[in-house]
Amino acid sequence: MKEVRVAIVGGGPSGLQAAIALSRLGVKPTVYEEHSNVGQPIQCGEGLSIHAFNDFSIPMEKSEIWTKVHKQCKLVFPENGVIYGDIHAYMIQRDKFDQYLANRAKNLGSTIITSTKVNSIQQKTEGVILHTEGEKPDKIQCELAIIAEGAKAKLTRNLDFKPPDPLIFAFEYKVEGEWGEDLEFYFDAEKYPYGYIWIFPRKNETNIGIVTTSSERKRRLDDFLKQKSITGKILEKVGGPIPMKGPIPRIHRDNVMIVGDAAGMVNPIFYGGIRIGMTSGEIAGKVVAAFLKNQGEERTYSLSNYQIELSKFKFMDKINLSCHDFFYSRSNKFLSKLGKILNNQNINKIEGKEKIKVLANLTMNPDLLKYPRGLLKIYKGFKIARDWGF
């Protein structure tokens, strides 16, 4: 049986950021990644807020990991009402981004083992036992494990954590050519229930995808491409499951911590999770390092600090899920009126006379005005999603 001090299951951004945080603090973890190459296959819209670059000190001149910068997004509602939002997001090359994080972790002392899938895990008094399959099946014992396995959360479920539920599914085309200038989101409660279609222009190509509870994702995305006369060559097709309802209630137990998609670390409004997942990995790494350092001392340090520290972030606020539940349960009639009232407004910059004008318009639309709390939830939730939605 092999022994490692800390094992990280999953080599995506969440697991890799946990490895970076641990290594910086003198604990050299081992990361187990089931695929042969870190960052592949890509299952991502590939948008990332500038805040993530700042949070994790990622040099913005690293142009090989990003292709384009966007300062504005456009939300399109039924009957073509448009709301603008200020946003500062990078279109990253997700495989190269993950590989950058992996190299950073390795340079700090982490070990990354690819082509190795952890298929079962057991919590014992003396530590955690991992069973792996792959080129060299093995049995590994560690003091602590950080689970960053992704949205399906098989190991998380088997450890009696409540996994992310339900999951919503996304499907995306990478299309040749730049089809637009801004990041665009198209909402339609009938065509794309509980989701939307996105257009993310990149350098010489565009990511165009759909996230919805409908099982007819591909057909509805194809219809959208025809409607918008988007005729670029399809270069690649990607997709996968996403946690729909945000963070799970419990994210640690004894000697195991859950991070990233497995912990539901996704903004439930736009379903983006890179920055949130990396934040959970960063906090988990710091807490584990402090826990190991304080072992045997009179002053005890608990892994429960992981949940305590994460609860301080806006993405853990219940308003995000409240916004999700209210916004995505509205009819097209409601969405159309909202789009018309706020048409061509920047939702983050409604001030002075414009705010008075918007309020006056609302008073003339009783169908909207009867939901004052719901409208406030949308305002607050979308404001948080601006920074945490990628």
Q: Residue 80: what pLDDT?
A: 87
**What percent of the chain is modeled with pLDDT above 90?**
75
**What percent of the chain is modeled with pLDDT above 70?**
95
Mean pLDDT, residues 154-183 taken together: 95
Query: Which of 114-118, 134-138, 262-266 has the lowest average pLDDT?
Result: 134-138
- Tokens describing residue 158: 């088997």
Mean pLDDT, residues 127-144 taken together: 88
Q: Residue 187: what pLDDT?
A: 97
Domains and CATH numbers, the chain: 2-46+93-165+245-316 (3.50.50.60), 167-242 (3.30.9.10), 320-388 (no CATH)
Sign of CA dihedral 145, 147, 149, 154: positive
| Mean residue pLDDT across the chain | 92
Q: Residue 126: what pLDDT?
A: 80
Is the pLDDT score of 141 beyond 70?
yes
Per-residue confidence band for 174, with pLDDT thresholds at 50, 70 and 90: very high
Q: Residue 349: what pLDDT?
A: 66
What does the pLDDT look like over 28-68, one tens digit per residue?
A: 999 999 999 998 887 788 999 999 999 999 998 877 899 99
Q: Residue 134: what pLDDT?
A: 72
Is the pLDDT score of 15 beyond 90?
yes
Q: Residue 190: what pLDDT?
A: 97
Mean pLDDT, residues 312-337 taken together: 95
